[in-house]
Chain A
Amino acid sequence: MKKNFWYLMALLVFLVFFTRPAFAGSQSPESFAENKQWHKLLHYPLAAAKPGYITSDSFYLSANGRRDPLAELTATIKAFYREKKTANPGEKHARCRFPARFKLITRHVDLSPFGQLPAVNCQDYQNWRQQVDIHSLSVVFASGYMGNPASMYGHLFLKLNRSSTRKSDLLNTSLNYGAIVPEQENPVVYVLRGIFGGYDAGYSDQQFYRHHHNYGDVELRDMWEYKLNLSADDVDLIAAHIWEVLGNKFDYYFIDENCAFHIAKLLELVLTEPLIANSSLWVIPSAVAKGLEQANYQDKALLENITFIPSRESVLHDYYRQLTPKQKAIAGELINDGFNFANKGYRQLAVKEQKTILETLFQYQNVIKQKQADAGVVKANTRKLMRERLKLPPGRAIAQGKNSGKKAPHLGMKPSKYSLGVADIDSSKQYLTAGFRMTYFDDLSSSVARNPYANLEMLDFEFISDEKKTRLLRLDLLDLDALHTPGVPWRGETPYAWSVRAGYEAFNNACLDCGIYFVEGDIGKSYRFGENSLAYGMLGGKVFAGHRDDVTVTGKLGLLTSLGGKAKMKLELQQAARLNLSQSYRHRFYGEINYQFAPDWEVRFLLTSSAATLIGLKMNYYWGF
């Protein structure tokens, strides 16, 4: 007992004398208040006139703390020296609430004039650190999800990795940033408040399995993990700062102050150069991925490695490719026969082959569960599969194969575009054209790191000019299409092709001043043939107002094909008629050929016929913040 007492006393002496802050800092508070890292800890925008991004009053200890770094520093130091009030045992001491501030202030600021710091026990923080056990950081990019407009650009979150001696990656902690949206939110309000503001947002910590399951298993989105090469000290600083920001609120703006922006800001705490340009007017996740890939950290690359995390759908396609024709045929019979495992062909297979088929069918069930409405049938069939698999010996029979050529998001084309060109109408009038697109890709541009038969463009302007006048030829507020997404093996069907477009355009080529505002939507089917070709047909409608007001039904036939590695062509014929079919409009023909001659450069030839024929040639330059 006595021996234990002296051990304990020795430990206490050690704690008191050696674990207290060394007060190694030499800067005055006034000097440190201008430190960039201090500003980053306070989430100040670079524009000094703007207040800090965090809107929770409790985050700033000074009344002026959201704008005044010195006032906040002074208030923070004062709070660090405050004795904890015994009357409020539940109240956390400032040192426990702000461990990253404490770390930086004690490192940089000369605290000797303030005397000795009181002893503080930050048990909650220590518990959290012990639980989360952060040794390294990764940024995870969840690929775009066409099921939700807000998810089409993809999503970023942080993964806080435990030491490598711990086994399961799924039990690492992940840090997410997102808007706080009421349940059953009106979709229109959701979009408007998302874009123009009105939602609070914040960081949340959850174990990685929730995101892994949600994105990969439910939304069927591939993920890419960008593991970062940060020092232990900087990982510790970010971990401490994560504790500081958890539970605090921000304003949410989908265009710029979104997940990608605030995940980048968190990492920039330990970087000398920003991941995204300070002048960014919009921030998309792939831009941050590019920033990670290009960033330097302490004279070496910030990025350590990139890991592909396939969705269930990617796993299904991977497994399907590994099946022999006979195994594919038997699996098809099992599906068509309601998973009746008395199937003769199946019964005659060796156990390993049976296991291979069952494991592939599990993936099949996972995918159609997300795509097929009849959950009861899926569940019943999965149950049969389960029963059959439990009869066979344990152990995986099929290995996850190589990534089937999918490219990481940072390799994709830059999202914004300038264009400049010339146009001729009916061989009688020549024009100059100029364009600007905010984001993201169109179905003629490079297919790297995206669905090759999809279009996702927002704020796409094109102006046309002659010697007298410059006019807006076209403005697409939104131009989305998904002409083809891969079908599920064995189902022999492809998802619907669809498109949605809204904006302003010249009514036809014969009258460039006859503008209409429009909304249109189409749905149909597509057919892939050859290696890189797609034909499609769609029916839809268009509502427009301006030079003419009308509601029309439309039909479209199109072809999208690759003309070699760098060139693509799109042809489309469109016919419209009044909704009551009392009048047909002239048909429209559209043809465009694109050739990418450098990573950020394209040249395009365009021919459209709509009352008059417009022939154009233009150069596109792609860029990003």
Chain B
Amino acid sequence: MNKTILSALMVGTLAAGAAMPAAAASDNKKSLNAWQDCGIGAIIFPANGTAAAISNIIWDLGTTAVTSNASSQNSCSGEKAKTAMFIQATMPVLEQEVAIGEGEYVTAMLELRGCEAASHSAIINAVREDFAEKENDSAQALYETLEQRVETSFSASCASV
């Protein structure tokens, strides 16, 4: 009995010591494509960028309230998936801040992605350059541009997930 309690405490202590996102991320496959594997584009939000708002315009605000973050944690809860969802939900404004090179949505995106604050400016400048070359400036294109830059040039400054 005592052994069981001690084991439970040990497991709990060790697990509590690890950051939750990192723990969740460690379960994710390295090849996780948040956009596809987590259904970001098609399932969580419809194609248009303002969809995040639509379900909220009810009895101010009647969200589909009882489905909460607390009940939706899954393998797609890592930084990549969260960043992808953030981009999809805020794209119309986010892309403008990307073009400007700074802003509160850009800061939030990079913090969500697990990038150190000191690297934000350099990352977004690099993303700007790539984004300017792209024909497709959809939310998914921005996400992929960011991921590519993080992996190739800023892996030391951002969470590795």
B96 adjacent to chain A (CB < 8 Å): yes
Instruction: Kindly report which residue of chain B lies nearest to residue A130, judged by CB atoms.
Output: B20
A192 adjacent to chain B (CB < 8 Å): no
Are A394 and B59 closer than 8 Å at their CB atoms?
no
- Kindly name the residue among A16, A166, A213, A246 whose own CB sees the greatest number of chain B CB atoms within 10 A: A213
A-B contact count (CB 8 A): 204
Are B53 and A219 closer than 8 Å at their CB atoms?
yes
Are B95 and A176 closer than 8 Å at their CB atoms?
no
A203 to B62, CA, bound (A): 10
B156 adjacent to chain A (CB < 8 Å): no
Instruction: Kindly report which residue of chain A lies nearest to residue B57, judged by CB atoms.
Output: A148
Are A243 and B61 closer than 8 Å at their CB atoms?
no
Choice from B62, B128, B132 contacting A199 with Cβ under 8 Å = B62
Are B6 and A178 closer than 8 Å at their CB atoms?
no
Choice from A12, A205, A362, A385 contacting B70 with Cβ under 8 Å = A205
**Additional A-B contacts beyond A123-B15, A218-B50, A390-B131 (18; CB < 8 A):** A121-B12, A131-B21, A142-B61, A150-B60, A155-B60, A168-B112, A171-B112, A173-B69, A176-B63, A204-B68, A206-B63, A209-B89, A217-B93, A247-B70, A259-B61, A362-B99, A385-B96, A390-B132
Instruction: Kindly report which residue of chain A lies nearest to residue B86, judged by CB atoms.
Output: A209
The 8 A CB mask of B45-67 against A (1 = contact, 0 = none) is: 00000101101111111111111
Are A386 and B95 closer than 8 Å at their CB atoms?
yes
* The stretch of B26-34, B35-43, B103-111, B146-154 that contacts the partner chain: B103-111
Residues from chain A with a CB closer than 8 A to the CB of B64 are 180, 204
> 8 Å CB contacts to B: which residues of A374-395?
382-383, 385-387, 389-391, 393-395
Residues from chain A with a CB closer than 8 A to the CB of B105 are 170, 209
Choice from B19, B58, B104 contacting A181 with Cβ under 8 Å = B58
Would you give the shortest CB distance from A100 to chain B, in whole angstroms?
Answer: 15
Are B93 and A12 closer than 8 Å at their CB atoms?
no
A76 adjacent to chain B (CB < 8 Å): no
Are A394 and B101 closer than 8 Å at their CB atoms?
yes
Are A395 and B68 closer than 8 Å at their CB atoms?
no
Choice from A126, A204, A213 contacting B66 with Cβ under 8 Å = A204
A173 to B69, CA, bound (A): 10
Are B62 and A12 closer than 8 Å at their CB atoms?
no
Are B65 and A177 closer than 8 Å at their CB atoms?
yes
Are B137 and A395 closer than 8 Å at their CB atoms?
no
Residues from chain B with a CB closer than 8 A to the CB of A190 are 58-59
- Kindly name the residue among A151, A177, A210 whose own CB sees the greatest number of chain B CB atoms within 10 A: A210
Are B59 and A179 closer than 8 Å at their CB atoms?
yes
Given known contacts A123-B12, A148-B60, A247-B68, A168 and B128 CB-to-CB distance under 8 angstroms: no
Would you give the shortest CB distance from B118 to chain A, in whole angstroms?
Answer: 11
Q: Which 4 A-B pairs have the closest CB atoms?
A: A394-B101, A121-B12, A178-B62, A179-B62
A588 adjacent to chain B (CB < 8 Å): no
A38 adjacent to chain B (CB < 8 Å): no
Residues from chain B with a CB closer than 8 A to the CB of A15 are 9, 13
B124 adjacent to chain A (CB < 8 Å): yes
Residues from chain A with a CB closer than 8 A to the CB of B86 are 207, 209
Choice from B5, B70, B101, B107 contacting A243 with Cβ under 8 Å = B70
A3 adjacent to chain B (CB < 8 Å): no
A336 adjacent to chain B (CB < 8 Å): no
A145 adjacent to chain B (CB < 8 Å): yes
> 8 Å CB contacts to B: which residues of A484-513?
none
Residues from chain B with a CB closer than 8 A to the CB of A48 are none
A167 to B6, CA, bound (A): 38
The 8 A CB mask of B3-21 against A (1 = contact, 0 = none) is: 0011011111101100111
Residues from chain A with a CB closer than 8 A to the CB of B10 are 8, 12
> 8 Å CB contacts to B: which residues of A146-164?
147-148, 150-151, 153-155, 157
Are B108 and A168 closer than 8 Å at their CB atoms?
yes
What is the total number of residues of chain B having a CB less than 8 Å from a CB of chain A?
A: 60
A369 to B70, CA, bound (A): 33
A201 to B58, CA, bound (A): 11
Given known contacts A130-B19, A394-B125, A121 and B11 CB-to-CB distance under 8 angstroms: yes
19 contacts between A and B (CB under 8 A): A119-B8, A121-B12, A130-B19, A130-B20, A151-B57, A151-B60, A171-B112, A178-B62, A201-B65, A206-B63, A206-B68, A214-B61, A243-B70, A247-B68, A247-B70, A259-B61, A383-B137, A389-B100, A394-B100
Are A213 and B53 closer than 8 Å at their CB atoms?
yes
Residues from chain A with a CB closer than 8 A to the CB of B99 are 362, 385-386, 389-390
A252 adjacent to chain B (CB < 8 Å): yes
> 8 Å CB contacts to A: which residues of B129-158?
131-132, 137
Would you give the shortest CB distance from B36 to chain A, in whole angstroms?
Answer: 22
A112 to B101, CA, bound (A): 61
Instruction: Kindly report which residue of chain B lies nearest to residue A383, judged by CB atoms.
Output: B137
A169 adjacent to chain B (CB < 8 Å): yes
Given known contacts A123-B15, A387-B132, A390-B132, A180 and B65 CB-to-CB distance under 8 angstroms: yes
B74 adjacent to chain A (CB < 8 Å): no
Are A252 and B59 closer than 8 Å at their CB atoms?
yes
A526 adjacent to chain B (CB < 8 Å): no
Residues from chain A with a CB closer than 8 A to the CB of B19 are 130
Residues from chain A with a CB closer than 8 A to the CB of B89 are 209-210, 213
A142 to B53, CA, bound (A): 14
Instruction: Kindly report which residue of chain A lies nearest to residue B129, judged by CB atoms.
Output: A390
Are B9 and A16 closer than 8 Å at their CB atoms?
yes
Are B9 and A12 closer than 8 Å at their CB atoms?
yes
The 8 A CB mask of A409-448 against B (1 = contact, 0 = none) is: 0000000000000000000000000000000000000000
Are A394 and B108 closer than 8 Å at their CB atoms?
no
Instruction: Kindly report which residue of chain B lies nearest to residue A369, judged by CB atoms.
Output: B92
A127 adjacent to chain B (CB < 8 Å): yes
The 8 A CB mask of A242-268 against B (1 = contact, 0 = none) is: 010011110010100011000000000
A128 adjacent to chain B (CB < 8 Å): yes
A396 adjacent to chain B (CB < 8 Å): yes
Given known contacts A205-B68, A217-B93, A243-B70, A150 and B59 CB-to-CB distance under 8 angstroms: yes
A99 adjacent to chain B (CB < 8 Å): no
Choice from B12, B66, B96, B112 contacting A247 with Cβ under 8 Å = B66
Are A206 and B60 closer than 8 Å at their CB atoms?
no
> 8 Å CB contacts to B: which residues of A320-361?
355, 359
Are B63 and A204 closer than 8 Å at their CB atoms?
yes
A355 to B100, CA, bound (A): 8
Given known contacts A148-B57, A247-B68, A127 and B20 CB-to-CB distance under 8 angstroms: yes
Residues from chain A with a CB closer than 8 A to the CB of B107 are 167-168, 170
Are B100 and A359 closer than 8 Å at their CB atoms?
yes
Are B71 and A247 closer than 8 Å at their CB atoms?
yes
Are B52 and A214 closer than 8 Å at their CB atoms?
yes
A194 adjacent to chain B (CB < 8 Å): yes
Are A394 and B60 closer than 8 Å at their CB atoms?
no
